[in-house]
Amino acid sequence: MAPSRRAAAAGLLASLLALTACGKGFDDNANQQTGNANLQILIGSSGDAETNAVKTAAAAWATATGNKATVIPAQDLSQQLGQAFAGGTPPDVFYVDASRLADYASLGALEAYTDRFTGGVDDFYPKLREAFTYKGKLYCVPKDFSTLALEINTDLWAKAKLTDADIPTTWDQLRSTAEKLKAAGVMPFTVTDTRDRLGAFMVAAGGWIVSKDGTQATADTPQNLQALQFVQGLLKSGLAVYPKQVDTGWGGEAFGKKKVAMAMEGNWIKGALQHDFPDVKYRVAPMPAGPAGPGTLSFTNCWGIAAKSQFKAQAIKFVEAMTAAEQQLAFAKAFGVMPSRASVKANYLQQFPDDKAFIDSADFAQGPVNAPKMDSVLKDFDSQLQGLANGNPKAILQRLQQNTEAALKG
């Protein structure tokens, strides 16, 4: 028994070594190929409308240039990209969410191609470019963007005998209007329990989680505390609810089901309401200004190109085609996003005048936290925000500060 077992162990060890040697194969630096490319494009699609629009645009580009372009909609973009990077064969072009940019960039997975991009980088909104800049390098060009604004249900508004003059423009007015709505028996406001919504209050109070360059933790500040205390006040006095408390998955659903008179969501709410709740009458106002002026958040993806792609030159051409002014307008029409080029704004507003509140905030909207290793920290912050109504805002911010410092250090 013993000798054969030893032989088997030796055999196994040999095959292990052989396989790890093979493993080195996928570390070879990819050679650039010229000529016609076969591009793999992984997109985190918002739905069929977006998938079809991108597929159509990619097919048109492929026919015009003689390349091949395969668009793959991801089930879970973050996970699929993570696995593709680990496997060593990432797609050539893919969406990169601004909140994940620093992670991918710090891994060295992204090609910083904007110096070879001939479509006019300066035309993209400066705030959006900031979101895709890591350590002074602009890695990719923004695909489109969304911002948060205040949606108001005009029927519930009328029911509480409110007029246009009651549309809140400051925090104080938000509170007093909410009190009027509550007195009329209407749940005034819903806000989702995540930094992606409550962060807007922190910005409006003059605070944010990290410093502008993303190197310092600035969570535990009086400004952030003021913001959380304001929201906590709304929650405690029953002037605002988290969507889950009224049995809905997100603010747009609570708003669409007429459970609340006001919601703060991005321009994606248009499509959702049109699709699921077509009878809701509403209007959109800018987010009420806080002590430090107007504050809102922006959400954006960019067209990332893999550092390991074999077709970088062709991929850049593809991105140029996808971000051309005409194409951006076509995408906007197809699935309700806002063009990331400033030069398209006037044309866009002509076609979608209702989106003024959303697109006007492009100049000051705060992008996601732009630093690596922050995903679990921000998840932890979100989990703390879930208990904000009965929690201690100061302690929540101290904890965020500690964790952010630790993450930024290592």
Amino acid at 88: G
* Whether the Cβ atoms of residue 43 and residue 51 lie closer than 8 Å to each other: yes
State which of residues 10, 14, 23, 351 lies at the interface with another protein (CB under 8 A).
23
Burial string for 53-83 (b: 16+ CB within 10 Å, else e) reads: bbbebbeebbeeeebebebebbeebbebbbe
Question: For another protein, what does the binding mask look like between residues 245 and 284, x meaning CB under 8 A?
Answer: xxx-------------------------------------
Question: For another protein, what does the binding mask look like between residues 352 and 381, x meaning CB under 8 A?
Answer: ---------------------x-xxx-xx-
State which of residues 10, 14, 16, 158 lies at the interface with another protein (CB under 8 A).
16
Can you tell me the distance from the alpha carbon of 49 to that of 65, in angstroms, rounded to the nearest whole number? 24
Asked if 233 is part of the footprint of another protein (rule: CB under 8 A), the reply reads no
Question: For another protein, what does the binding mask look like between residues 75 and 114, x meaning CB under 8 A?
Answer: ---xx--xx-xx-x--------------x---xxx-----
Can you tell me the distance from the alpha carbon of 46 to that of 268, in angstroms, rounded to the nearest whole number? 9
Tokens found for residue 140:
């990719």
Q: Which of 323, 350, 318, 358 is nearest to 122 (CA)?
A: 323
The DSSP annotation for 346-360 comes to: HHHHHH-GGGHHHHH
The total of other beta-carbon atoms located within 10 Å of residue 245's CB is 15
State which of residues 199, 384, 393, 397 lies at the interface with another protein (CB under 8 A).
384
Asked if 395 is part of the footprint of another protein (rule: CB under 8 A), the reply reads no
How many residues in the shown chain lie near another protein by CB under 8 A?
43
Asked if 14 is part of the footprint of another protein (rule: CB under 8 A), the reply reads no
Asked if 158 is part of the footprint of another protein (rule: CB under 8 A), the reply reads no
Tokens found for residue 327:
């194409």
The DSSP annotation for 358-372 comes to: HHHGGGT-B----ST
Closer to another protein by Cβ: residue 247 or 363: 247
Asked if 31 is part of the footprint of another protein (rule: CB under 8 A), the reply reads no
Name the minimum Å distance from CB 202 to another protein.
20
In the range 197-226, which residues lie near another protein by CB under 8 A? none
Spacing of C-alpha 76 from chain mean position: 14
Residues that bind another protein (CB under 8 A): 1, 4, 8, 12, 15-16, 19-20, 23-24, 26-27, 78-79, 82-83, 85-86, 88, 103, 107-109, 242, 244-247, 373, 375-377, 379-380, 383-384, 386-387, 390, 392, 403, 406-407
